[in-house]
């Protein structure tokens, strides 16, 4: 009996991240094209409207809506490709009803592939951080051109992820087991290493990072095998001492399903 070869049908993967816009609806991709599907709420029930294809590409790995910083400005959508990112400006036509105007405003290429969550919008400004395993760049004029500045990365570790703090004052980059904190200077358009605590080692391989409070981020790290085997089903937290709190940073650890979570706060002094 001979077994032949067959091709399995591939429909692509839907990627949703920061995907819902209050005006334009849901942005989604099947890995090749970018689509917009309108959303309506009728009598408390959500309804889907028409779907429009706004672009087709060789690879699409993620979609990221820009911040809603000004209601009168066109929406910004970052499209993450394999080794580059494009930024698109979308707005409804003032002349034709329900007609969407879409134009590319910015494009940036990198020598290394972008990380899986390689586009991080500033929470309040039209500023986009782009991440690869080696570089962190900030596009600070995405509606006009491709101008950017790079973070001065100290050390030889690999970048895993990054996030802006909720107040927008700093960009925190996870490299290896350490957090690198950069202050954003919006006048000079540069990233400056935090003078108080530029590098903070959390003691484990960092998997994800997310902003929580104004100048606080939550960090998820992998656990060493010996700790993983010794965990119970509960959660354990080590509370900081008063002396540690006075030093300007707090660190708390929790164990959930083989992942180690930490909260990290730094105060500017």
pLDDT tens for the chain, 269 residues: list them: 344 454 444 455 556 666 788 888 899 888 888 989 888 888 888 888 888 888 899 989 989 999 987 777 899 999 999 999 999 999 888 888 778 889 999 999 988 999 988 999 999 999 999 999 999 999 999 999 999 999 999 878 899 999 999 999 999 999 988 999 999 999 999 999 998 889 998 888 898 899 988 888 999 888 665 665 555 444 444 545 544 443 433 333 333 333 444 444 433 33
**Three-state secondary-structure class, residue 227:** helix
Nearest residue to 153 (alpha-carbon basis) of 195, 117, 199, 184: 199
How far apart are the C-alpha atoms of 174 and 162, rounded to whole Å?
6
| C-alpha dist (Å) from residue 22 to 35, 100, 150 | 16, 15, 32
Q: What is the predicted pLDDT for the residue at 123?
A: 93
**Three-state secondary-structure class, residue 228:** helix
Residue appearing with tokens 């004029």: 141
1-32 burial: b if 16+ Cβ within 10 Å, else e: eeeeeeeeeeeeeebeebbebeebbbbbbeee
At 244, phi and psi to the nearest 5?
Answer: -65, -40
pTM for this structure? Answer: 0.77
> Would you mind telling me the total number of residues written for the chain in this entry?
269
DSSP code of residue 114: E
Report yes or no: 266 and 196 within 8 Å, Cβ to Cβ: yes
Nearest residue to 170 (alpha-carbon basis) of 132, 203, 200, 205: 200
Element (H, E) at 243: helix 242-246
Report yes or no: 265 and 227 within 8 Å, Cβ to Cβ: no
């Amino acid at each position: 009996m001979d077994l032949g070869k067959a091709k399995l049908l591939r429909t692509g993967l839907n990627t949703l991240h920061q995907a819902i816009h209050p005006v334009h609806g849901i942005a989604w991709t099947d890995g090749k094209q970018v689509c917009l599907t309108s959303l309506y709420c009728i009598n408390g029930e959500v309804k889907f409207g028409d779907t429009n294809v706004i672009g087709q590409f060789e690879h699409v790995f993620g979609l990221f809506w820009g911040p809603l910083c000004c209601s009168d400005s066109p929406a910004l959508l970052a499209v993450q490709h394999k080794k580059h990112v494009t930024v698109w400006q979308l707005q409804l036509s003032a002349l034709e009803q329900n007609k969407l105007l879409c134009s590319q405003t910015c494009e940036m290429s990198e020598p290394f592939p972008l990380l899986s969550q390689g586009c991080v919008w500033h929470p309040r400004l039209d500023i986009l951080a782009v991440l690869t395993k080696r570089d962190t760049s900030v596009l600070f004029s995405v509606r006009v051109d491709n101008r950017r500045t790079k973070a001065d990365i100290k050390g030889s570790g690999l970048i895993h992820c990054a996030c802006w703090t909720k107040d927008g004052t700093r960009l925190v980059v996870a490299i290896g087991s350490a957090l690198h904190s950069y202050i954003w200077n919006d006048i000079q358009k540069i990233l400056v290493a935090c003078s108080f605590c530029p590098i903070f080692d959390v003691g484990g391989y960092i998997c994800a990072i997310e902003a929580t409070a104004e100048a606080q981020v939550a960090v998820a790290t992998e656990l060493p095998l010996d700790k993983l085997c010794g965990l119970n089903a509960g959660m354990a937290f080590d509370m900081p001492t008063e002396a540690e709190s006075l030093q300007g940073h707090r660190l708390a650890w929790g164990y959930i399903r083989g992942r180690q979570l930490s909260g990290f706060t730094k105060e500017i002094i």
